[in-house]
């Protein structure tokens, strides 16, 4: 089997189609990766590829790391997955810290949702429609088939397009220019999803929506929303339209299919979406959030919550408390408001009170990742590193692909407590799961040499070091 890094670069060429305009509008043409009836990666190959791609994305892409938003997006994705046929392999739902209205799917079940998309959809059903569409690209094996045809893609061009993808996260114009330069060197055909792929993903996505209890009309509604956003903006159309072109025929087809379905008219499963949308807005732009809030005579509960989050983000706990105390618990998702008060207490330096509140929540929602992560931080604040490390170790063990943010937090807490072997091992895993393999090897070796490492620790760390060293060697060979 070709090396995973070669696979990775070929897959990134597929993903590049999600970051550049279609060939007919830009003059850029990308490699034809074949029809859906052609070769396909095996499920095992795709899973291996997905794990490597996930590490690369975590290293390179700007990700939203707020635990509440991460949990919400992941939960929505998992509920949709439960109603997606053939969703056998692992899936990873990532929120990209980018204001573009865009989403993408990558081989191995990686689904990316841009922050800008979450802020522009009008309800949870529209967000679910986009996520369901991207899930369908994976379950219908569009990515695996396209990728299998791209095994002989030029390595240098792959690097150029990878650079363009990363640049697009900061400046779409710059990213497109870099990609165009890489493509102009010799690739003359297109790899955007075919219209047949898009139609199939629409149909499968609407079935997923229906099975999850959402209004399937949300698919056509979102398409119309995209057209609204593109009016009068010239070339600055939503990025999603560049990679998933929306025509009147496509909207009509989606609307007709929805009308034929026996379906719910549910647009929001509960209040969580509006509150997480307000949280996203506050974290993305606290100043603008507060300007809008102050200009509103009768703010909604979600706007008031967003203002509280923005005040906390700006280090103004007194003003945040004023807004939170004016919220009626009956209007808010209970956990959301409780977490906000716990964050407020911590910002006010009331760590014992914050701990008590979080422990009460932990008893009601045992194992909830947001509560557990907040508990670890409060234990650290209270000078209880052993408890914090135990909580984080348990969370990390439960994850198939550990979250680097948890590993970094564990490393920092252990280092401050003088637990050098634990700190270096966690830091090594942090680097490994961000595709920084050489640095992971160095950190593992530092852990093996730590004075507080037991013989059992050294053996475990050595095994991990050997894995990282082999992965680093393969990465170097593929870059020659």
Domain residue spans of the chain: 4-260, 279-363, 394-480
What does the DSSP assignment read for 350-398?
A: -HHHHHHHHHHHHHHSTT-HHHHHHHHHHHHHTT-HHHHHHHHHHHHHH
Distance, CA of 8 to CA of 369 (rounded, Å): 30
Whole-angstrom distance, CA of residue 222 vs CA of residue 129: 8
Beta sheet of 110-114, edge-to-edge order: 92-96, 110-114, 103-106
pLDDT value of residue 114:
94
356 part of the active site: no
pLDDT at 479: 64
Alpha-carbon gap, residue 264 to 241, rounded angstroms: 27
Exposure b/e, 234-272, CB count within 10 A at least 16 = b: eeebbbbbbbbbbeeebbebbbebbeeeebeebbeeebb
* 136-152 as b/e: b if 16+ CB within 10 A: bbbbbbbbbbbbbbbee
According to the model, what pLDDT value does residue 196 have?
80
DSSP H or E stretch at residue 96:
strand 92-96
pLDDT the model gives residue 213: 94
Catalytic residue among 45, 66, 198, 202: 202
**What's the pTM?**
0.85
Question: pLDDT digit of tens for each residue in the chain (480 aa)?
Answer: 334 444 444 444 344 333 333 333 333 222 222 333 335 677 787 788 788 889 988 998 899 999 999 999 999 999 999 999 888 889 999 999 999 888 888 888 999 999 999 999 999 999 999 999 999 988 887 776 665 555 444 333 334 444 444 445 444 444 444 433 443 443 333 344 567 888 888 999 999 999 999 999 999 999 998 888 776 555 555 555 555 666 788 899 999 999 999 778 889 988 999 999 999 999 999 999 999 999 999 999 999 999 999 999 999 999 999 999 999 988 888 799 999 999 999 999 999 999 999 999 999 999 999 999 999 999 999 999 999 999 999 999 999 899 999 999 999 999 999 999 999 999 999 999 999 999 999 999 999 999 999 999 999 999 999 999 999 998 887 666
By the 8 A CB rule, do 179 and 16 touch?
yes
**Catalytic member of 126, 134, 221, 425:** 134
pLDDT value for 45? 79
**Is 338 a catalytic site residue?**
no
């Amino acid at each position: 089997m070709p090396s995973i890094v070669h696979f990775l670069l070929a897959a990134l060429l597929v993903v590049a189609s999600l970051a550049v305009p279609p060939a007919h509008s830009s003059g850029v043409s990308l490699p034809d990766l074949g029809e859906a009836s052609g070769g396909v990666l095996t499920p095992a190959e795709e899973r291996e590829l997905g794990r490597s791609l996930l590490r690369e994305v975590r290293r390179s892409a700007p990700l939203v790391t707020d635990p509440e938003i991460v949990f919400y997006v992941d939960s929505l994705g998992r509920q949709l997955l439960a109603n997606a046929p053939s969703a056998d392999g692992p899936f990873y739902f990532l929120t990209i810290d980018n204001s573009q209205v865009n989403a993408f799917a990558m081989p191995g079940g990686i689904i990316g949702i841009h922050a800008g998309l979450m802020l522009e959809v009008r309800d949870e059903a529209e967000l679910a429609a986009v996520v369901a569409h991207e899930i369908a690209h994976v379950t219908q094996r569009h990515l695996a088939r396209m990728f299998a045809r791209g095994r002989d893609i030029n390595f240098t061009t792959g690097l150029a397009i990878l650079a363009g993808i990363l640049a697009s996260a900061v400046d779409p114009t710059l990213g497109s220019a870099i990609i165009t330069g890489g493509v102009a060197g010799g690739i003359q055909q297109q790899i955007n999803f075919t219209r047949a792929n898009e139609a199939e993903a629409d149909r499968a996505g609407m079935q997923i929506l229906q099975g999850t209890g959402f209004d399937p009309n949300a698919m056509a509604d979102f398409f119309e929303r995209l057209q609204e956003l593109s009016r009068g903006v010239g070339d600055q159309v939503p990025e999603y339209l560049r990679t998933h072109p929306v025509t009147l025929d496509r909207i009509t087809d989606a609307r007709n299919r929805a009308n034929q379905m026996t379906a719910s008219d549910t647009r929001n499963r509960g209040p969580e979406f509006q509150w997480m949308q307000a949280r996203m807005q506050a974290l993305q732009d606290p100043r603008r959030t507060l300007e809008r809030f102050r200009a509103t005579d009768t703010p909604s509960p979600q706007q008031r919550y967003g203002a509280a989050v923005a005040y906390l983000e700006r280090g103004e706990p007194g003003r945040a408390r004023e807004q939170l105390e004016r919220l009626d618990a009956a209007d808010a998702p209970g956990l959301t408001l409780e977490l906000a008060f716990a964050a407020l207490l911590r910002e006010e330096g009331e760590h014992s009170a914050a701990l008590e509140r979080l422990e009460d929540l932990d008893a009601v929602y045992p194992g909830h990742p947001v509560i557990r992560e907040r508990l670890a931080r409060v234990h650290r604040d209270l000078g209880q590193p052993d408890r914090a490390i135990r909580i984080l170790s348990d969370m990390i063990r439960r994850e198939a692909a550990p979250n680097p943010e948890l590993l970094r937090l564990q490393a920092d807490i252990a280092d401050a407590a003088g637990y050098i072997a634990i700190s270096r091992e966690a830091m090594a895993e942090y680097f490994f799961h961000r595709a920084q393999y050489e640095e992971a090897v160095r950190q593992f070796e530092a852990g093996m040499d730590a004075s507080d490492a037991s013989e059992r620790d050294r053996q475990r760390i050595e095994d991990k070091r050997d894995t990282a060293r082999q992965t680093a060697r393969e990465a170097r060979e593929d870059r020659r």
